[in-house]
Chain A
Amino acid sequence: MTTIRQMDEQNPGAKFRRFLLRQEIILFIILTIAIILLTLGSDKFLTVDNLLNQGRLLTEIALVALPMTFIIVTGGIDLSVGSIMGLCAILLGYMWNPSGPFQWPLELAVIFSLVVGTLCGVINGLIIVRIGVPPLITTLATLALYRGLAEGISQARSVRNYPESFYVLGQGTFLGVPTQLWVVLIFVLITAIVLSRTVFGRSLYAIGNNELGARFSGIPVGVYKIIIYGFSGFMSGMAAWIFVSRVTTTRSDMGSGLELDAIAAVVLGGTSIFGGSGSIIGTVIGFVLIQLLKNGLALAGVTTDGTIVVIGTVLIFAILINNYIQRRVSAGK
């Protein structure tokens, strides 16, 4: 690091060039180009109303993508987030359901589902840390398990007719901005600061770069991992709460495929799937880009399924371009 800094002092041009070639900057340029193209595609795209509404729609992916960034930075992965979201949504409705077996107050049901979500994440963490099962397999198993619990408990029945006050979070606005966008903003700030400015956050990079080395330098690797998987579970619960409030019903298939969107956002944001590098800003650009693509293409008359194709292609090409540029940069050093 110091040598690079010394080099920069001698040659300010190199510093500027490296700044330009950072993943976030490249992504930002791609995002700008996408916005220009999408604006040309439809005059409804670049309007305040539309953009705020898109903010509403990206909330669930955003909330899950933030802890996913932590996890992928450590070299892990969490495939179970969509299933945890489904389970939390079901439990929220099931516990509250006035004609169901529990009939809890709604507040209690929400807290309970958040606790269960966190617990689901902690269980992932415990299996990964204590038993030493790789994250991919662990969360694949719990992807099936948690979704199965959601389906089993609900028997595929939905719960509706929540009180009006419950919808504020998912449909209301605060200071003219959708309520849940504030939630996203707060969590973005918290996670960004934690990841880049705290010992805990820096330790996650250390774990991703060299787990054994991190362990030897006194980082409580196991505890940290359990914390981030637990956090991921909690955020999946938050996503469930907001989602139920937005769509006014609970179904057991909620959040199916959410893990793929979240991982796509994180990877698109320049976080290496092998761990050790990445940033929250990148992830934010990642999920904003995905949502704007979805929306802009829809406005331009492309079907939802066509949009999925575009996103898949963008994902692969973004990684290809980034790999190429990073290789050039490291070769240039």
Chain B
Amino acid sequence: MTATASPVTRPPVQARSGGFLSRALSFLFTQEVILFLVLVVLIVLVGSANPRYVAERNFINILNGNAYIAVAAIGMSMVIISRNIDISIGSLIGVLGTLSGTIAINGYPIWASWLVPIVAGALVGAVIGFLVAYLRIPAIVVTLGLLSILKGGLITITGGAWITDLPSDYFLAQMKSPAFSFLGLNVPEIPSPILLMIILTILAAIWMRYSTTGRAIYAVGGNAEAARLSGISEKRIIMTVFIINGITAGIAAVLWATQLSIIQSTVPAGLELQIITSAVVGGVSILGGIGTTVGAMLAAILLSAINSALVFINISPYWFRAVVGVLILVTVLADRLRRQRNRASERG
């Protein structure tokens, strides 16, 4: 596919005409705005029940500790938008994080321990993409097999041993960016995971909305046949999507590995569920096709805020997963209703 193919893949998003009011209304009902409002309501409610919840320190901790989930959700959003799925992502992050730590303690330069996992992630993504796009094995089967391979392989090789004695300049996730200070602005320093999360999310959102390839992902997910007829190479798009997913998984893995002074060399339990949930709740439509990465980031933040809130309002954290389940169901239901109404209003 060449860049000149762009005119056929213009936004399937609301190019709907209408007055300012109706446009304002449809903006209000976008998934991102709803998520943001839910997040605000949650913070206000829990904060008024327990003021310690809204302490700046707690909030920075929530954001910081979960930024890697939001970063991984960027790639996952694209995968789901293209009507695929990657259930091996949790295992991949575990493997790449361990790889990063192993490189760091073996005396290689620190930048290598940050870069190699990202490259390795891209390679794994390319393999998945190849199997899905060219050998026509469904993504769920490929990633199901890969999940076993990565998970089992990791424990077989490491024996579950923790990685300790990491060099002191390894901890990317504990660093703070002297953000904006070069502009002479008096803005507090932002921890690097949060900064990375925000920058990557915005870049991805812009890329998906305005680039030819970005639009093509929506086209492939929305209607693969139509996309093919309009000159989009479905195979290439699927490869691209899985490679990007591997790259964001690599970045997420580095953030995860550099958080604490040890790396546990295991696969974080239930991580794939949190990442997929973020992508789905964030407005990635259940049928593929529509979705944004900004929503996925907000959803990831909302999930971790809920997780933390349970502790502050004295609800056992064992209920967390039930809340996650309800949240996905509610999102999906709301999405259905909204679409039915849209269809009804289009009919007049």
Choose from A148, A304, A308 the contact partner of B324 (Cβ within 8 Å): A148
Listed by A's residue number, 14 A-B pairs whose Cβ atoms lie within 8 Å are: A131-B332, A132-B336, A133-B286, A141-B329, A142-B325, A145-B324, A146-B325, A274-B138, A305-B152, A305-B156, A311-B148, A312-B145, A313-B149, A316-B141
Using known A-B contacts A134-B286, A148-B322, A148-B323, determine if residue A140 contacts B137 with beta carbons closer than 8 Å. no
- The 4 closest A-B CB pairs, nearest first, are A145-B325, A148-B322, A312-B148, A308-B152
Q: Which residues of B contact A308 (CB under 8 A)?
A: 148-149, 151-152
Does A127 contact B329, Cβ atoms closer than 8 Å?
Answer: yes
Q: Which residues of A contact B146 (CB under 8 A)?
A: 312, 316
**Chain A residue nearest to B322 in the complex (CB):** A148
Q: Does B108 contact A (CB under 8 A)?
A: no
Does A141 contact B148, Cβ atoms closer than 8 Å?
Answer: no
Does B336 contact A133, Cβ atoms closer than 8 Å?
Answer: yes
Does A147 contact B145, Cβ atoms closer than 8 Å?
Answer: no
**Chain B residue nearest to A133 in the complex (CB):** B332
Choose from A77, A154, A252, A307 the contact partner of B140 (Cβ within 8 Å): A77
- For the complex formed, measure the closest distance between the CB of A328 and the CB atoms of chain B, giving whole angstroms: 14
Q: Which residues of A contact B280 (CB under 8 A)?
A: 137, 140
Does A313 contact B328, Cβ atoms closer than 8 Å?
Answer: no
Once the chains are docked, how many angstroms separate the CA of A155 from the CA of B320? 11
**Chain B residue nearest to A137 in the complex (CB):** B286
Choose from B137, B286, B318, B325 the contact partner of A144 (Cβ within 8 Å): B325
Q: How many A-B residue pairs have CB under 8 A?
A: 133
- For the complex formed, measure the closest distance between the CB of A301 and the CB atoms of chain B, giving whole angstroms: 12
Choose from B138, B273, B321, B322 the contact partner of A273 (Cβ within 8 Å): B138
Does B321 contact A144, Cβ atoms closer than 8 Å?
Answer: yes
- Scoring B residues 89 to 105 as 1 if CB is less than 8 Å from chain A, else 0, what string do you get? 00000000000000000
Once the chains are docked, how many angstroms separate the CA of A208 from the CA of B228? 24
Once the chains are docked, how many angstroms separate the CA of A140 from the CA of B137? 21
Q: Does A309 contact B (CB under 8 A)?
A: yes
Q: Does A158 contact B (CB under 8 A)?
A: no
Q: Which residues of B contact A213 (CB under 8 A)?
A: none
- For the complex formed, measure the closest distance between the CB of B138 and the CB atoms of chain A, giving whole angstroms: 5
Q: Which residues of A contact B259 (CB under 8 A)?
A: none
Does A303 contact B156, Cβ atoms closer than 8 Å?
Answer: yes
Does B318 contact A156, Cβ atoms closer than 8 Å?
Answer: yes
Using known A-B contacts A274-B138, A312-B149, A316-B131, determine if residue A145 contacts B322 with beta carbons closer than 8 Å. yes
- Scoring B residues 291 to 322 as 1 if CB is less than 8 Å from chain A, else 0, what string do you get? 00000000000000000000000001011111
> How many chain A residues touch the partner (CB < 8 A)?
46
Q: Which residues of A contact B332 (CB under 8 A)?
A: 131, 133, 137-138, 141
Choose from B85, B155, B273, B324 the contact partner of A305 (Cβ within 8 Å): B155
Q: Does A323 contact B (CB under 8 A)?
A: yes
Q: Which residues of A contact B135 (CB under 8 A)?
A: 320, 323
**Chain B residue nearest to A123 in the complex (CB):** B329
Q: Does A267 contact B (CB under 8 A)?
A: yes
Once the chains are docked, how many angstroms separate the CA of A307 from the CA of B152? 7
List A residues at the B interface (Cβ < 8 Å): 77, 127, 131-134, 136-138, 140-149, 151-152, 154-156, 252, 260, 263-264, 267, 273-274, 303-309, 311-313, 315-316, 319-320, 323
Does B147 contact A149, Cβ atoms closer than 8 Å?
Answer: no
**Chain B residue nearest to A132 in the complex (CB):** B336
Once the chains are docked, how many angstroms separate the CA of A148 from the CA of B333? 20
Q: Which residues of A contact B149 (CB under 8 A)?
A: 308-309, 312-313
- For the complex formed, measure the closest distance between the CB of A143 and the CB atoms of chain B, giving whole angstroms: 7
- For the complex formed, measure the closest distance between the CB of A6 and the CB atoms of chain B, giving whole angstroms: 30
Once the chains are docked, how many angstroms separate the CA of A132 from the CA of B339? 12
Q: Which residues of A contact B156 (CB under 8 A)?
A: 303, 305-306, 309
Does A143 contact B147, Cβ atoms closer than 8 Å?
Answer: no
8 other contacts beyond A305-B154, A313-B149, with CB at 8 A cut-off?
A134-B286, A136-B85, A148-B324, A151-B318, A306-B152, A312-B147, A312-B152, A315-B145
Q: Which residues of A contact B276 (CB under 8 A)?
A: 140
Does B151 contact A144, Cβ atoms closer than 8 Å?
Answer: no
Once the chains are docked, how many angstroms separate the CA of A143 from the CA of B272? 12
Q: Which of B136-168 contact A (CB under 8 A)?
A: 136-138, 140-142, 144-149, 151-156
Does A260 contact B325, Cβ atoms closer than 8 Å?
Answer: no
Q: Does B287 contact A (CB under 8 A)?
A: yes
Does B321 contact A151, Cβ atoms closer than 8 Å?
Answer: yes
**Chain B residue nearest to A304 in the complex (CB):** B152
Q: Does B82 contact A (CB under 8 A)?
A: no
Once the chains are docked, how many angstroms separate the CA of A311 from the CA of B329? 32
Once the chains are docked, how many angstroms separate the CA of A154 from the CA of B135? 44
Q: Which residues of A contact B323 (CB under 8 A)?
A: 148
Choose from A77, A131, A148, A316 the contact partner of B319 (Cβ within 8 Å): A148
Using known A-B contacts A131-B333, A152-B316, A152-B318, determine if residue A140 contacts B273 with beta carbons closer than 8 Å. yes
Does A323 contact B287, Cβ atoms closer than 8 Å?
Answer: no
Choose from B144, B152, B286, B321 the contact partner of A260 (Cβ within 8 Å): B144
Q: Which residues of B contact A127 (CB under 8 A)?
A: 329
Once the chains are docked, how many angstroms separate the CA of A103 from the CA of B325? 29
Using known A-B contacts A132-B336, A152-B322, A312-B149, determine if residue A141 contacts B328 with beta carbons closer than 8 Å. yes
- For the complex formed, measure the closest distance between the CB of A331 and the CB atoms of chain B, giving whole angstroms: 14
Q: Which of B247-279 contact A (CB under 8 A)?
A: 273, 276-277
Choose from B137, B148, B155, B325 the contact partner of A320 (Cβ within 8 Å): B137
Q: Which residues of B contact A303 (CB under 8 A)?
A: 155-156
